[in-house]
Structure 1
Amino acid sequence: MPTPRRRRTVNPWAKLGKTAARQMQQMQRAVARSVTKSVTKTVAQTVAHTVAQSVGHAAQQGREARRVLSGVTSPVPAPTSRGGGRWQEGVWGFGPLAQRHYRLFIPSGVGTSRPAPLLVLLHGCGQDAASFAACTRVAALARARRCIVLLPEQSSRANAHRCWNWFRSEAQAAAEASLLMGMIDHVCRAHPVQSDRVHLLGLSAGGAMALMLALRYPDRFVAVGSHSGAAPHLARNATQAGRVMRGALNGHTAAQLQALRLQLQGRMPPPLLLIHGDADRVVAYDNAIASATLWLSLSTPGALPAAAAQPSVRVLRRGERRPVAVHDWRRDGRLYVRLVRVEGLGHAWSGGAASQAYADPAGPDALRIALAFFAAVAPAPVRRRAVA
């Protein structure tokens, strides 16, 4: 007789415990997956953010490095042609080791049958042609006044800070002046320029170099201007340049004056405009006084003329712009030297674009001041008699 099978007794509590255990394991795995996914996502986001920050930081460092290596304090893109006129780029020099880039602006309507005057602008240290064009906003005024503008560009190989080398030895300064004069002649030949209407204006180191150019080639310029520039022909090295800029060497010796008279060979320096801030802590205002004194001394044989002691002076202010004191010296009844002292202006282009270094938008527009002076000293046009 077969043995009867025993019925398995089911313990409901044990079954419930197993079910709970399985559910707990499932929940633990779900929680683990969720936590792992969240942590992975957070880590990925953190890594991506860190990488982005590193890339951005590296890009910023790259931009800063390029800026430092370029020697330009506030670089800008190349100027574009708009609003009537065109920008051109060029290179000129005496060979691969003595070349300079330049930018040229030619307003609309200028051509062979309608040539225009030429304005040469020499930038300061820490600038290039593009940044100086942006600082001065020269294209807008050149369109309105219908003049061609040449902006030579100093090479960072010639000077790490892109300064024109006004403080080098006489031979080096003469070589750089010759290079610039050659560039000006090249532009006059290649473009519709009125070669007897060339004006020269520079800022800071460019202002000092402009004066050196005018003293070496006085018959090539209708007038010359220096904005916040050091007095020329006083420094022969960097140490002396620092003293000149501080105003410690602000007078030319008799020997220096005699050397410059021999260089001029009886020619007269062109009319001179000086614009300088009385709060300039980089190039002291005394440099403007020294440059004016130099011009007046070279224009008259012998001692400094008595008229130099008492120029005509007038104080002007337009709107909220900084006030200016205008000192005028005349020679043979005509305006010859003008010194514009801008109250409260530091080492910056007066009336320049706010986005640029070395620019003070609160000052009166230096370019308008310069063009007004150039127009005032321009020789009267020669009237041609009609042929009968």
Structure 2
Amino acid sequence: MPDPVPARRRPTRARRVAATVLAVLLALVAAPAAPAHAATGSYFAGVYTSLAGARDYHGYVPSTYRSGTPMPLLVALHGCTENDVGFDLLTGLSALAERRGFLVVFPDQTALANPAKCWNWPLTVNQHRGLGEPSIIAGITNLMRSRYTVDAARVYVTGVSAGAVLSTIMAVTYPDLYAAAAIVAGCEYECDLLRFRTPDQAGLDAYREMGSRARPVPVLIFQGTADLVVPPVTADRIVGQWAQTDDLAIDGRDNDDVSATPSLVQRGQVPGGRTYTRSIHRGPDGTVLIEKYLIDGAGHAYPGGCSCSLYGDPSGPDASGLSWDFFLAHPRR
């Protein structure tokens, strides 16, 4: 996904984070009226280093955070040619974290690992627990848990494009860490671009990767019908993979406890914006395990994203707000 930050000269980390601070303060000012004593939270930034490599990150702590009182945590992964700060501006997640009370951290891919700043999801080493980039993202997540009072049952992961593919990988490789995932223009586990393998096969591989940690992971999917980078049919492959994975994770049997056929299909429209189809897939107890938004006419962009970015689509459903609603309904059980 092209970078919404101008590419003339890479700004220093301090300047990048300062730009995010300013943008979020402006977003907070534009937000609906809050109590007169409303305060703002604080930003943090750092570098995480492990045997698998080093990555920058930045994040936001809302003003409502109190040490000793558990708070949810969201890990947000940018797309190709983006960076962590650009993704924060695009999604408005720091501003949302202030309004709705959660911690958020944005890992940053390095150009040393990928010149286009894509997460390297096609590499086998990055599709398994304890290895490569998944271990780095999990390491950053656990670093946040060690520094802040995080609700262990409410740790979530989201991403767009390459970050969405990695979000799927994180939910598969660390189902004991992430309660649920939101996938924006992403791909199924092991992402078969040529579609030689069925979603059921990907679902079985994902279940095997989970191992003894297997559990049904709720996922929310966003996909545009006019996306020229990710074929819209990929959203159905993600649904099929997770239907199979969650079905097996419930009782170890392939018995359609979760089906790739939706339980409910609804049509909707953003006021003055795009129409969409929302599909819901439930587990045997009625719990929503898979939810998909197929957005009419949307390209490879972030739905509801800031108009300050070339890759925000303000006319689409509010992916950030809808994702947080979904996450709140799905703590890890």
Q: TM-score, structure 1 length as denominator?
A: 0.72
Residue in 1 aligned with 2:136?
179
* Counterpart Cα distance in 1 of 2:204 and 2:197: 17
* Counterpart Cα distance in 2 of 1:371 and 1:207: 16
* Counterpart Cα distance in 1 of 2:62 and 2:325: 19
Residue in 1 aligned with 2:207?
261
Read off the aligned partner of 1:94 and give its amino acid letter: S
Q: Tell me which structure has the larger Cα radius of gyration.
A: 1
Of 192, 200, 204 in structure 1, the residue corresponding to residue 149 of structure 2 is: 192
Read off the aligned partner of 1:343 and give its amino acid letter: D
Residue in 2 aligned with 1:360?
313
Residue in 2 aligned with 1:229?
186
Instruction: Tell me, yes or no, if structure 1 residue 311 matches structure 2 residue 263.
Output: yes
* Counterpart Cα distance in 2 of 1:232 and 1:118: 23
Render the CA deviation track for 1:262-300: whole Å, top value 9, x for unaligned.
Answer: 221251241011011111110111111111100111122
- In structure 2, the CA distance between the partners of 1:66 and 1:304, relative to structure 1 (3 Å rule), is farther
* Counterpart Cα distance in 2 of 1:278 and 1:148: 32
8 A Cα contact 1:350 1:365, kept in partner? yes
Residue in 1 aligned with 2:9?
66
Q: 1:164 aligns to what SS in structure 2? A: coil
CA displacement at 1:108 relative to structure 2: 0.4
8 A Cα contact 2:187 2:234, kept in partner? yes
* Counterpart Cα distance in 2 of 1:280 and 1:345: 6
Q: 2:176 aligns to what SS in structure 1? A: helix
Q: Matched residues, percent identical?
A: 28
Render the CA deviation track for 1:294-318: whole Å, top value 9, x for unaligned.
Answer: 0111122226557422431011113
Residue in 2 aligned with 1:149?
104
CA displacement at 1:234 relative to structure 2: 3.1
Report 1:162-173 matches (<5 A): 162-170=117-125
8 A Cα contact 1:353 1:359, kept in partner? yes
Of 125, 130, 141 in structure 1, the residue corresponding to residue 80 of structure 2 is: 125
Read off the aligned partner of 2:206 and give its amino acid letter: L
* Counterpart Cα distance in 1 of 2:7 and 2:262: 50
Instruction: Tell me, yes or no, if structure 1 residue 378 matches structure 2 residue 327.
Output: no
* Counterpart Cα distance in 2 of 1:187 and 1:219: 16
- In structure 2, the CA distance between the partners of 1:232 and 1:78, relative to structure 1 (3 Å rule), is farther
Report 1:204-283 matches (<5 A): 204-235=161-192, 244=193, 248-249=195-196, 251-252=198-199, 254=201, 256-266=202-212, 267-283=214-230
* Counterpart Cα distance in 2 of 1:289 and 1:201: 18
The 4+ residue runs of structure 1 with deviation greater than 4 A are 247-250, 303-306
* Counterpart Cα distance in 2 of 1:231 and 1:86: 35
* Counterpart Cα distance in 1 of 2:222 and 2:197: 17
8 A Cα contact 2:189 2:203, kept in partner? no
* Counterpart Cα distance in 2 of 1:378 and 1:172: 24
Of 281, 301, 317 in structure 2, the residue corresponding to residue 329 of structure 1 is: 281
* Counterpart Cα distance in 2 of 1:134 and 1:145: 17
Read off the aligned partner of 1:186 and give its amino acid letter: L
8 A Cα contact 1:234 1:252, kept in partner? no
Read off the aligned partner of 2:20 and give its amino acid letter: P
Q: 2:20 aligns to what SS in structure 1? A: coil
Q: 2:158 aligns to what SS in structure 1? A: strand
Q: Which has the higher contact order (CA 8 A, sep 6+)?
A: 2
Q: TM-score, structure 2 length as denominator?
A: 0.83
Read off the aligned partner of 1:152 and give its amino acid letter: P
Q: 1:309 aligns to what SS in structure 2? A: coil
8 A Cα contact 1:314 1:327, kept in partner? yes
Read off the aligned partner of 1:298 and give its amino acid letter: T
Q: 1:308 aligns to what SS in structure 2? A: coil
CA displacement at 1:169 relative to structure 2: 2.1
- In structure 2, the CA distance between the partners of 1:227 and 1:187, relative to structure 1 (3 Å rule), is same
CA displacement at 1:249 relative to structure 2: 4.8
Render the CA deviation track for 1:71-122: whole Å, top value 9, x for unaligned.
Answer: xxxx896422745111111111215x71100011000021213331001110
Render the CA deviation track for 1:173-206: whole Å, top value 9, x for unaligned.
Answer: 6411011101100111011222221011110000
Read off the aligned partner of 2:274 and give its amino acid letter: R
Residue in 2 aligned with 1:86?
42
8 A Cα contact 2:165 2:189, kept in partner? yes
* Counterpart Cα distance in 2 of 1:191 and 1:140: 19
Structure number with the higher helix fraction is: 1
Alignment root-mean-square deviation, CA: 2.5
- In structure 2, the CA distance between the partners of 1:226 and 1:306, relative to structure 1 (3 Å rule), is closer
